[in-house]
Structure 1
Amino acid sequence: MLGLMQDRPLLISQIIDFAADYYGDVEIVSRTIEGPIHRYTYRDANRRARQLAEALQGLGIKLGDRVGTVAWNGYRHFELYFAVSGIGAVLHTLNPRLAPDHVAYIANHAEDQVIFVDLNLLPVVENVIGQLKTVRHVVVMTDRAHMPAQSKIANLLCYEELIADKPGTLEWPLFDERTASSLCYTSGTTGNPKGVLYSHRSTLLHSIMMTSGAVLGLNPDNTVLPVVPMFHANAWGLVYGCPMSGCKLVFPGHQLDGASVYELLDKEDVDLSAGVPTVWLGLLNYCDQNGKKLTRMKRTLIGGSAVPRAMIARFWNDHQVEVAQGWGMTEMSPVGTLTRFNRGERSLPDDARFDIIAKQGRPVFGVEMKIVDDEGTTLPNDGKASGNLMVRGPWIVSGYMKSEGTGAFTKDGWFHTGDVSKLEPDGSMVITDRSKDVIKSGGEWISTIDLENAAMGHPAVAEAAVIGVHHPKWDERPLLIVQLKSGVDAGKQEILDFVKDKVAKWWLPDDVAFVDAIPHGATGKVLKTELRRTFKDYTLPTA
């Protein structure tokens, strides 16, 4: 027997309508490419999103067509999120930090019809325009006064002119909630990037989860600054969850240095922000060097890569900012776990609380996970066994666009994440490594993440990375690669002595190499592939 409930589709357009109707005067603040700070409201955004939707229809965009964006976090990009998906087209956010060949490959694979581009990112599109097979229009996201005088792209369209004469009276269409809504590509660290195609249903369910009390607990009293890019898994869902909850939104634009982020956090009374560890490292260093305190911010969500315990302690001890570590993937919309405190845990001593936050967290409602060995046998959740992490749930990918990468999925609906993890009896998940990064020494696994976190606790270390280097006896041994803080010095033995009582003795790195900078990829993750190339002929002193 079925329930007697109305069967209304879950659609992204409902979010911006709800925000305009019930939080219409709440501000959206953006640092713009043109220079000034832009301010308007959810009511304004809804009207302009409808104008943009009408303009897209005028360009021939219809249900299922892909519309690309090459843009930072700002109000025009926000409008595209609702205008494109609202008419049943697919919003495809391209990462401007990718190599040109990857940008061209992704736009062609997605079959983008139109590309919207921020003014200072126009060269990214100009560099590949000759390779783009399906793009009919390129729209620069600015007004006529700031349009480029010349370009390699013929017939550039101006965003503000495109929507200016549109009435903004469009009624959002209704369609199946399983309709594709947006498209993000994996970073392509191995092989070509793969397309993850979200639906309206998956997006709404993920957004409701994000706003819930056990996750972020968003409400109209919050002011949220998503430093995480809107081209990085839809800014972790904050562009949907914030209007759904009536939060004031603050967009940082293209200026993500410590000084610029601090200015917005301070002047706009931001109490919650989200970003990757590299951005927060820059902010914390800026505060240290300039005697600044984060007096407004109360919480930060950090994800994208493992959060060093030292960073958690710096946020709390220096600024009384509580860190929540999140874990997920583009394939998971992206949030799968979050460090949250169960009853009584928040009042634990600092060290005990930091230990909880240093894990990847407990699954959010809707996400199932398990670990398996290489033969597929399920391993116990005892905090000791380490295995391949598998996940499933209503906002987790069931296949890649155009049926690529099918080996990542099991017949009974589980997705191979590529992470090696432990699951603890209380539900906490601990990533021990990426399957491609784990070091196998003498047949035993060594966690590079644990070693990196231990090294990051040294006061002279700005950032650390660990890779496996060939060893004639043990097959592989760990090499610790260190970037020191500016103006600070530390020797190899000093760092090894600092680490030695924090990890198993046989995990201790066989050597330390110092570099001027540790390389990062397009989403802020450490490029271990590049480090492996750099150190491929490295000879360990123990070899």
Structure 2
Amino acid sequence: MNGLMMDQPLLITMIMQHAETVYPTSEIVSVTQDQGIHRYRYRDCFRRVRQLANAMQRLGMKEGDRIATLAWTDFRHLEIYYAIACAGAICHTVNPRLFEEQILYILNHAADRWIFTDPLFVPLLEKLQPDLEAVEGFVVLTHESAMPETSLKNAIAYETLIDDEPEDFAWPVLDEYTASSLCYTSGTTGNPKGVLYSHRSTLLHAMMVAMSNGLNLSDHDVVMPVVPMFHVNAWGMPHAAPMLGAKLVLPGPKMADGEMLQKLIVTEQVTCSTGVPTIWQALLDYLESSGKRIDCLQEIGVGGSASPASLFERMKQYGVSVHQGWGMTEMSPVGTFNRVRAAVCDKSQSELDTLALKQGTPLFGVQMKIVDEQGNTLPHDGLQMGELCVRAPTVCSRYFQVEGAAESHDEAGWLRTGDIATIDADGYLMITDRRKDLIKSGGEWICSIELENIAMNQPNITAAAVIAVPHNRWGERPLLVAVSKGEPVDKAEMASWYRGKVADWWIPDDIVWIKALPYTATGKLNKRILRDQFCDYFGAASCQPRTSSVV
């Protein structure tokens, strides 16, 4: 017997209509390239969203069409998010920081019909245009007066496109499983793979992120996602903030600019923000050099890579609490968030400080387990390490247009994440490494992330990576590759820093100083490049060095 409740699909359209009705005066503030700081309100945003939907319908957009974006985190990109998805098409966000070959592959694999692009990326698209297989035209995100000279076919300025369109649009009542957006993984192993989100998964993810054990948002908050809208929906903030009526601050192309971030935080009175550790280190470096403050900021969510303890300590000096999270493109993307639960409140401060370094507990709806190499479930005792597996209504079941069974999923439908982790008795997840980054020395495992976190607390180190390097005797040994903050320390001093914190045989055999570490297009440390660069460092006979341009 079914319940006798209204059958109303869970659609992103609901977020838009709710925000416009209940929170029409909440602000959206953007940093833009063509008009400086732009500000308007939710009611203005969604009026323009309807105009854009009309314009795209006039251009022939149909339900299921893929419409691509190469754009910054600003108000026009937000309008595209809602207009495309709510009209029944698919908003395909493309990361412009990927290699050109990857961008071309992604655009062709998705068979995008139109591309919305920031003016900065026009030259890139002009170069790729001869090899684009399905693209019919381009919309440049600017005014007619700032429209660049371009050879892109059917190119039109965004403001010209929507200017004369009606302000009303009849939104279709879609099935909640209708695809809403598409994002490709970084492709560090093979071609990028597409993750196709639905209206239902996106709406549920926004609710999960906004809940009290997540970001704990309300219309009293001012939220600034310092994460790009061109990758995994900016961690859900473009949907969660309007759902709760929070003021939304979008940093545009200035996401890595510490000075601009400080200015936005203070001017707009930002209370909550999200971003990767490198973003916050850039902000802290600016604060320390300028003497300026961020007193209104209460907390930040951190993800993308593990946060060193030094980040927590530095932020604490400015009255900001740091909360780690964990997720992946396949999870919409957030899966866990770290807050102090009632069950652990009686722990000592030192125990709570250690707990804060973990990736947290699952958001509502997310199930987690760890398994050994044979797929057997391991106990949640905080000690045994295994591969993390997840499932949830917000986790992809397979990849977009990939034939055959999903090798990333087990027979019961759990997603094998490739992360090695522990889960303690209180449910707190601790990512100890990526499976591909574990170091096997003398038959025993060494966790690179733990060694990196310890290195990052050394006063003379500003960035660190620990990689597995082939070794004739031990199979692999850890090598520390670091960026110096001041005078580089030598091997003996670094070994002394590690001693007592980890087993002696875990201590990296040497340290190499470089000018900068390589990162992927999504801000994650790219250890594959480092492993290629230093694979013959210990002179192992099995090493096959390849060329690289890191050092």
Q: TM-score range by the shorter chain?
A: over 0.9
Residues 540/482 of structure 1: CA separation in 2 closer, same or farther (3 Å cut): farther
Give me the whole-angstrom Cα distance separating, in 2, the residues matched to 1:298 and 1:527: 31
Aligned residue in 2 for 1:61: 61
Counterpart-to-counterpart distance in 2, 1:128 and 1:54: 28
1:270–1:296: 8 Å Cα contact kept in structure 2? yes
Give deviations 1:133-171, integer Å, cap 9, x for gaps: 0000110000011000x2231331110010001012002
* Separation in 1, partners of 2:348, 2:456: 22
Q: Deviations over 1:89-133 (max 9, x none)?
A: 000000000000000000001110000001122223222111110
Equivalent positions of 1:109-508 (< 5 A) are 109-148=109-148, 150-256=149-255, 257-316=257-316, 318-343=317-342, 345=344, 350-404=349-403, 406-485=406-485, 487-508=486-507
Task: Report the alpha carbon displacement of residue 4 of structure 1 after superposing the two structures with TM.
Answer: 1.2
Give how far 1:346 is off: 5.9
**In 2, Cα distance between the equivalents of 1:40 and 1:71?**
19
Give the partner amino acid of 2:304: G
Stretches of structure 1 lacking an aligned partner (at least 5 in a row): none
Question: C-alpha offsets along residues 431-486 of structure 1, whole Å, 9 cap, x if unaligned?
Answer: 1111111111111111100000000001111010000111111100100111012x
Deviations 1:415-439 (A, max 9, x none): 1101111111111111111111111
| Contact map agreement 1:510 1:540 (CA 8 A) in 2 | no
Q: CA deviation at 1:488?
A: 4.3
Give 1:189's aligned amino acid.
T
Distance 1:34 1:348 in 2: 52
Quick check: 1:439–1:478 contact (8 Å CA) kept in 2? yes
CA deviation profile, 1:221-274 (whole Å, cap 9, x unmatched): 100111110112100000000000000000001012111111111111001110
> Is the 8 Å Cα contact of residues 301 and 322 (structure 2) preserved in structure 1?
yes
Indicate the SS of the match to 1:67: strand
Post-superposition offset of 1:388? 1.0
In structure 1, how many angstroms separate the alpha carbons of the residues matched to 2:5 and 2:497?
Answer: 61
Which stretch shows the higher mean deviation, 504-513 or 179-188? 504-513
Please give the alpha-carbon distance, in whole angstroms, between the structure 2 residues aligned to 1:292 and 1:493: 37
Matched position secondary structure for 2:401? helix
- Unmatched segments (≥5 aa) in structure 2: 543-551
CA contact (8 A) 1:100 1:127 kept: no
Q: Percent identity?
A: 49
Q: Which residue of 2 aligns with 1:509?
A: 508
Q: Residue in 2 aligned with 1:43? A: 43
Letter in 2 for 1:539: F
Q: Which residue of 1 aligns with 2:16?
A: 16
Q: Distance in 2 between matches of 1:493 and 1:14?
A: 60
Matched residues in 1 for 2:43 and 2:439: separation? 53
Q: Is contact 2:137-2:152 (8 Å) kept? A: no
Q: Structure 2 vs 1, CA of residues 298 and 540 (structure 1 numbering), >3 Å: closer, same or farther?
A: farther
- Residue 74 of structure 1 and its aligned partner are, at CA, apart by 0.2
Answer yes or no: is 1:7 the counterpart of 2:7: yes
Report the counterpart of residue 85 of structure 2 in structure 1: 85
CA contact (8 A) 2:49 2:79 kept: yes
Q: Is the 8 A contact 1:31 1:251 kept in 2?
A: yes
Q: Are 2:531 and 1:526 equivalent residues in the alignment? A: no
SS in 1 for 2:437: coil
Deviation at 1:508? 0.7
Amino acid paired to 1:372:
V
For residues 474-518 of structure 1, the C-alpha deviation after alignment (integer angstroms, 9 at most, x for no partner) is 100100111012x44433322221122222222111111111111
- Aligned pairs, how many? 539
Q: Do 1:511 and 1:540's aligned partners in 2 also have CA atoms closer than 8 Å? A: no
CA distance in 2, matches of 1:207, 1:80: 18
**Amino acid in structure 1 at the alignment position of 2:245:** G
- The Cα offsets for residues 294-327 of structure 1, whole Å up to 9 and x where unpaired, read as 21111000101111111112111x2110011010
Coordinate RMSD, CA, aligned: 1.5
Give CA-to-partner distance per residue, 1:202-222, whole Å, 9 cap, x none: 011111111111211100110
Output the CA distance in 2 between the equivalents of 1:281 and 1:350: 24
Separation (CA, whole Å) in 2 of partners of 1:39 and 1:517 = 36
Secondary structure of the equivalent of 1:183?
A: strand
How far off is 1:14 after superposition? 1.3
